[in-house]
Structure 1
Amino acid sequence: MRGSMAVHELPGSRRRGRSPRRMAPEERRRQLLDAAIGLYGKHTYDEVSVDDITVAADVSRALFYRYFSSPADIYQAAMHQAIDSVLSQITARVEGSLADQLRQSLRAILDYAEAHPNGGVVLLKHGLSDSTSETGQHFDDARLKIVEFLFERGDVSERTPLMDMTVRAWINVVMVAIVDWLQEPKITRADLEEWLFNQFMAMSAATGIQDPVSAAVMERLSGEFFPD
């Protein structure tokens, strides 16, 4: 419940002695966002009050409202920061093949999901269902950057609509599967990661059946995915 007074205290949010250290505005804003992301990772939006965030960040309510107009405002900013953080990890180029890059991308998403179970569900569901709000558009932009990055990483210069559709659909499969796994973890993380990797292979192979360009790309990359 949110309002002018907090009627609950979330675990781990007991106030410490407030630090008098002065911070640059951007540093202070990030401190508040980090505190909010930590709380949203373990609690729902409705469970987190302004007081909970200020306690976790060790700042006053007045300071909170200097940077954010409302709980909804910081929630949106926190979602944007979370999207950007995961995106930067997914698109961090690694040594090795495209297969290595795909596995690294999956690990980055799963690392975030495990560290922020509730927030991961909210973030991924938001990306799947909302394409109209500012946050939904931010998520769509991030998804497009992932698509572009994977094609660039695979050195794919000639693309077809079916190839684009395949990669976008695979990203959605990843999101849906991780949400299901977070809510009901019936398989191990390792099994989920391997299944998602194999889904990329299977979907790409299926596209190649009716798309000669895609088939040629997969033939070229087959040595990376199936090394001797």
Structure 2
Amino acid sequence: MDERRDELIEAALQLFSTRSPEDVSIDDVAAKAGASRALVYHYFGGKNELYIAALGSAAKHLSVLLEPPTEGKPLERLRISLKRYFDFVESHAAGYTALLRGGPADRSGEAGEIVDGIRRLLLDRILHSLDVDVPPPILRITLRCWMATVETAGLDWLENRDVSRPDLERLLVDQLVVIMQISGRHDPGTGALFDRLAHEEMSH
């Protein structure tokens, strides 16, 4: 029976990835999954519960993939984490798109908590990769801006796929290095982190 529930969630993610929750009905999900309305209500009670369950499922898959690497230089660990992130983007396209569809103004309640939780987890994983425990404000803002770039790049790549994944991943890491260098001009702590990363990258 749990397998049937998973099928309903996958069908819902496929629909939520291309349409807003308001435009998806229980009948749509049932038809997509080849199930009855009664079965959907049996598992989820209503559309909002189904939407929350679908987002939660996508978030859980992503959080598992984002377990931080334990070996290598900081930027090497970041590259590995970014590759895992795009593994999720590629293999769970519907879940990724459903998670990020719409802006912050479109998120409230449990749905907003799920999306915000993933973003907090991603920030924590990036800081872990960079060997930073408590980021100075400028670094925190810089990383959150970069995370928004990564999210947008993932959505654009799914839509167009006119840049290879490895090239896109390298571009994003290079972008982070550049904006950290610029941010370092405004904050000594971020500047020191950039200098350390640059030194470790050049050392053998």
Aligned in 2, Cα 1:209/1:83: closer, same or farther, shift over 3 Å?
same
Partner of residue 93, structure 1: 69
Aligned in 2, Cα 1:70/1:41: closer, same or farther, shift over 3 Å?
closer
Aligned in 2, Cα 1:225/1:171: closer, same or farther, shift over 3 Å?
farther
Deviation at 1:215, TM superposition (A): 1.2
Equivalent AA in structure 2 for residue 77 of structure 1:
A
Q: Return the alpha-carbon distance in structure 2 between the equivalents of residues 50 and 158 of structure 1.
A: 43
Aligned in 2, Cα 1:87/1:224: closer, same or farther, shift over 3 Å?
farther
Aligned in 2, Cα 1:127/1:149: closer, same or farther, shift over 3 Å?
farther
Deviation at 1:92, TM superposition (A): 3.8
Q: Deviations over 1:22-58 (max 9, x none)?
A: x5xx666445434544x34876465772323542xxx
1:136 paired with 2:98, answer no
TM-score (norm 2): 0.80
Deviation at 1:66, TM superposition (A): 1.6
Partner of residue 220, structure 1: 196
Q: Return the alpha-carbon distance in structure 2 between the equivalents of residues 99 and 117 of structure 1.
A: 26
| Structure number with higher helix proportion | 2
- Counting only pairs closer than 5 Å after superposition, residues 156-171 of structure 1 correspond to structure 2 as 156-171=132-147
Among candidates 25, 33, 50, match of residue 29 of structure 2:
50
Aligned in 2, Cα 1:128/1:190: closer, same or farther, shift over 3 Å?
farther
The runs of 4+ residues in structure 1 deviating greater than 6 Å are none
Deviation at 1:198, TM superposition (A): 0.7
Deviation at 1:175, TM superposition (A): 0.8
- Counting only pairs closer than 5 Å after superposition, residues 189-228 of structure 1 correspond to structure 2 as 189-228=165-204
Alignment check: 8 A CA contact 1:40 1:119 kept: no
Alignment check: 8 A CA contact 2:139 2:190 kept: yes
Q: Return the alpha-carbon distance in structure 2 between the equivalents of residues 75 and 141 of structure 1.
A: 16
Structure possessing the higher radius of gyration over alpha carbons: 1
In structure 1, stretches of 5+ residues that fail to align are 1-22
Q: Return the alpha-carbon distance in structure 2 between the equivalents of residues 177 and 84 of structure 1.
A: 21
Aligned in 2, Cα 1:224/1:47: closer, same or farther, shift over 3 Å?
farther
Alignment check: 8 A CA contact 1:33 1:78 kept: yes
Aligned in 2, Cα 1:120/1:142: closer, same or farther, shift over 3 Å?
closer
Deviation at 1:117, TM superposition (A): 3.5
Q: CA RMSD in A?
A: 2.9
TM-score (norm 1): 0.73
In structure 2, stretches of 5+ residues that fail to align are none
1:150 paired with 2:126, answer yes
- Counting only pairs closer than 5 Å after superposition, residues 96-115 of structure 1 correspond to structure 2 as 96-115=72-91
1:33 paired with 2:9, answer yes
Deviation at 1:205, TM superposition (A): 0.9
How many residues are matched?
200
